[in-house]
Structure 1
């Protein structure tokens, strides 16, 4: 008990304290639970507010991003609007034009296709006639919508591509551009009628990067070249073809390709050859007017590449400026290249922009790359446009400075086309454009210098006209020399406006197209029918409107004049005081055609100068000096004229050995041996009567063209009678010579005096010796 008391005394207070603590704990716990309840309410409110805050922040972020995107789109839209600001009007207009163009597309394509397919063989005038009259008219008849006066060149090719062609050597005139289109767009392989070789030069420059192979049908390796080009897809140029092609080319021309595996093959005669689609075939001919069979014409696209007056005049002007003001011509050529590059760049930018616009997916404003490209394109386009404007202004100034010299180029163009046309008089009168260019540049160098441009131009024209006339007339037969001078005078005076084209037509044609039964009755029987028809035709000239009435009124005077031995020297009834030299020549031709060339001499002397009617003796020495190893000297034979003696005498003076052979059957072996020896040792070769061995001359031409090095003293002399099968290339690369006896006493004396030298006069001291020489010449 005592122990209990001791323990209880100690434990009881603790129990009381425990109960008090428990009571306090209950109170604290109750307060805690109440606080926790209040905190839970607050926490829920806090969570709700946090959620609202997070939602508000997310919305804020979204709005900020939306605002940024909207700003970005606004900037892109502003950039797009700014970049396309200058295009809206143009594109709107083009869109309307495009809608209209689509309506006429069928007819335009038909016209363009017909143009490329059928008009290649014709000249510019006939092409325009067929295009505007027949093709357009037929579309109208069939009620096919078609563009009136369609510019085929603009329809089929871009200016940038044409500019590239020009840089490659294609002349800038419209006909040449059309030819370029036919060569590059036609499905059939082209045959270029290219007497001047300009199409050949363009093709060689154009295809040079593609490893163009140049060959000929007579080349021993022709078949191998063809197979290689077909297999490896290389372009091939067959030059100097005649009027027929090798039948081995028929499968190629007719495109008889067969698929084999992944590629194509072609049955070439007895052999299968792989065919690559990149293969191209071009053919050129030097014949000015070839006659191809309908079968061949159906297999190829024949293109007339004959040079035009406009194109040649621009080329000759460029050569002259390069001589006279080379810095201007160099600047002009540099400017042309620069402008071409600008145009090409603009075209590339426009094509790239249209491609991106057409292939853009979704909203344009979302395509940042497109916007950037558009901005760059716009800026570049503006820069290029400014440069083009500056270049155009500079080009205009250069052109104005160059135009001052155009009369020289115009005169040279007249000369060349006269020379080219004169080949119809005789097949041997062939002169290449490259040969003419050499004469042209030489004449510029040799003409008198002058400080005043006008004087310099006059000097060049005067010297060039006579120098080229001398060069050409040296290779003309006597009966054609006055005729050539007459045609030259007509062209020069016609160009100058001194005579009218209608009057020249009357002079040339006379009354040949008239019928004696359909014209006014002749007044007197002494007048031959042909003469009366000429008189009626002559009345179409303004100066001779009443010539028929004059013949009727003054029958006696006209008959007396008609019966004169030299009517060109007598007074013309009723017209003497008012006649020009040209009109006098027309009257003489109308009444006395046999005296026309005599009257023409006065007209030529008055129009060009007396030296154009004076006979010029042949100087073999100066002719030899003009030649070079690759330039043969071709002597045209006529009855009673043999240049062999002159050649041998010249060789003796020059201390040269002449290896001569008269051509005929079996003589080619000797000629080949002589050529091989002479080209190495520097001797002369004389091939006589080559019209009897024309086959060998083609071989000679190829030998001279392909020879890398010839001895500088080597010369090739050829004598031949005119023959239509004489190689044109040999004629065009050589110097033609005739040595007929001159016509008339004055010409004979002048010719005789050429062989009388001072050494010959001093050979004998006696006076009688000189008198004897004079008598022999006379």
Structure 2
């Protein structure tokens, strides 16, 4: 587990001595006892992406995880793509948030007015025309809020697949740090490529954008990868996309007879018997990984080429025209 600096342990004692009736507590630094106000708080941050602290440390501090979550990134991406494609819709959404607060305050005032009039009305409250008008206003306000939210959310849902696909690709890039700590990519840099993809892709539908942005991201990232890691990254993109589309089944087992037959095959030969048609492309790749690891590179190339396209396994040409947009994105990120 990760540990704190030894000098910090004296700042986070389990039992803090108090200074009599004064509203302050104390900590011990060396031989000195230093008192501080009870409202004093100390925040300790770490750059570790996924730290694991010992129970001793966890009992003395409150751990807060600010790591970017898939759902949080998805909401952020959805807002950006809607703002780019339908700025009027995103503006209406922002205005709705403001108007919602005002409407809720008005509804609260109307409810208070209803309760007041009910408690001070003599006889049948239904006969009070002013009270009926207040009730009607309350109903209209509630209906306006609900209808506006439904209309805007229904239109925004059309862009959810774009946000989902994009957040999947971001976490593929983020996971590269597990391969080599040098592979670090900021969210600002990623969003720059995302917005450039929206601006540069042709208006030819969602699938066209998916293909354009996926390859654009792969091209930008692969320039910073070692040659041995480029095919791995292409496969990671491919596998994550297929997992999101439920095209990968991890529960299928293979008999020993098939395993023995596969050991005698070359990487591109079909599997024996019905297994050539019974297994999908990913399952065939798993069989190859377990039994013919020496042929795995060829299998990965064929798999990525079949799923994403031949260009994902071809060498990327780093021309000046390709590098200039990336340089501008990096400059913007550093300036930010």
Same topology, TM > 0.5 = yes
Superposition deviation, residue 399 in structure 1: 1.3
2:263 to 547, 553, 562: 562
- Matching residue of 1:479: 228
1:443-479 CA-to-partner distances (Å, cap 9, x unmatched) read 111111x2xxxx3322221111111111222222222
Pairing partner for 1:275 from 12, 29, 37: 37
Q: How does 1:110-189 map to 2 (within 5 A)?
A: none
Comparing both chains, which one has the higher relative contact order based on Cα–Cα distances under 8 Å and sequence gaps of 6 or more? Answer: 2
1:610 — aligned with what?
A: 310
Report how many residues are paired.
322
**CA distance 1:353–1:390, shift in 2 (3 Å):** closer
Whether contact under 8 Å (1:257, 1:265) holds in the other structure is yes
Q: Which has the larger radius of gyration?
A: 1
Contact map agreement 1:346 1:381 (CA 8 A) in 2 = no
Structure 1 unaligned spans of 5+: 1-241, 357-363, 367-375, 504-539, 634-703, 706-732, 734-778
Question: Which residue pairs with 1:548 in the alignment?
Answer: 256
Query: Which one of the candidate residues 395, 412, 418 is aligned to 2:149?
Result: 395
Residues 13 and 60 in structure 2, CA contact (< 8 A), matched pair in contact too: no
CA distance in 2, matches of 1:550, 1:312: 43
* Whole-angstrom distance in 1 between the partners of 2:26 and 2:132: 50
Match of 1:571 in 2: 270
Cα 1:612/1:404, change in 2 over 3 Å = same
Q: Distance in 2 between matches of 1:470 and 1:330?
A: 33
User: What residue is the counterpart of 2:327 in the other structure?
Assistant: 627
Match of 1:443 among 168, 186, 197: 197
Shift of 1:615: 1.7
**2:19 is paired with a residue of what secondary structure?**
strand
Return the offset for 1:327. 0.7
Structure 1 distance, partners of 2:329, 2:172, is 28
Maintained 8 Å contact 2:19/2:25: yes
* Aligned 8 A contact 1:418 1:488 in 2: yes
CA offsets per residue over residues 346-390 of structure 1, 9 Å max, x none?
Answer: 568879999x9xxxxxxx769xxxxxxxxx999878645532331
Structure 1's 301 and 251: CA in aligned 2 closer, same or farther, altered over 3 A?
Answer: closer
Q: Deviations over 1:175-231 (max 9, x none)?
A: xxxxxxxxxxxxxxxxxxxxxxxxxxxxxxxxxxxxxxxxxxxxxxxxxxxxxxxxx
Work out whether residues 235 and 300 of structure 2, in 8 Å CA contact, stay in contact via their aligned partners in 1: yes
State the Cα deviation string for residues 159-185 of structure 1 (Å, max 9, x = none): xxxxxxxxxxxxxxxxxxxxxxxxxxx
Q: Which has the higher strand share?
A: 1
For the residue of structure 2 that corresponds to 1:304, the secondary structure is: coil
Tell me, in whole angstroms, the C-alpha distance in 2 between the residues paired with 1:619 and 1:255. 63
| 3-state SS of paired residue (2:53) | coil
Provide the C-alpha distance between the structure 2 equivalents of 1:482 and 1:442, rounded to a whole number of angstroms.
24
Q: Which residue of 2 aligns with 1:296?
A: 57
Native 8 Å contact 2:107 2:141 kept in 1 = no
Matched, 1:428 2:190: no
Asked if the contact 1:581/1:602 (under 8 Å) is kept, the reply is no
1:483/1:251 Cα in 2 relative to 1: closer, same or farther (>3 Å)? closer
- Closer/same/farther in 2, CA of residues 300 and 416 from structure 1, 3 Å limit: same
Matched, 1:470 2:216: no
- Asked if 1 retains the 8 angstrom alpha-carbon contact of 2:192 and 2:329, the reply is no
Q: Secondary structure of 1:387's match? A: helix
1:441-520 paired onto structure 2 within 5 Å? 441-448=195-202, 450=203, 455-500=204-249, 502=250
The residue that corresponds to 1:587 in the other structure is 287
Give, in angstroms, the shift of residue 339 of structure 1. Answer: 2.1
Deviations 1:327-352 (A, max 9, x none): 10111122123224444665688799
* CA–CA separation in structure 2 for the residues paired with 1:399 and 1:321: 11
1:388 and 1:288, CA in 2 relative to 1: closer, same or farther beyond 3 A? Answer: farther
Cα distance change of structure 1 residues 251 and 579 upon mapping to structure 2, 3 Å threshold: closer
Matching of residue 405 in structure 1 with residue 159 in structure 2: yes
CA shift digits 1:258-288 (9 cap, x unpaired): 3666x546568568566374x5554443422
1: distance between equivalents of 2:55 and 2:184? 28
* DSSP-derived class of the 1:572 partner: coil
Name the structure 1 match of 2:169.
Answer: 415
C-alpha distance in 2 between matches for 1:249 and 1:441: 48
Specify the alignment match of 2:125 in structure 1.
none
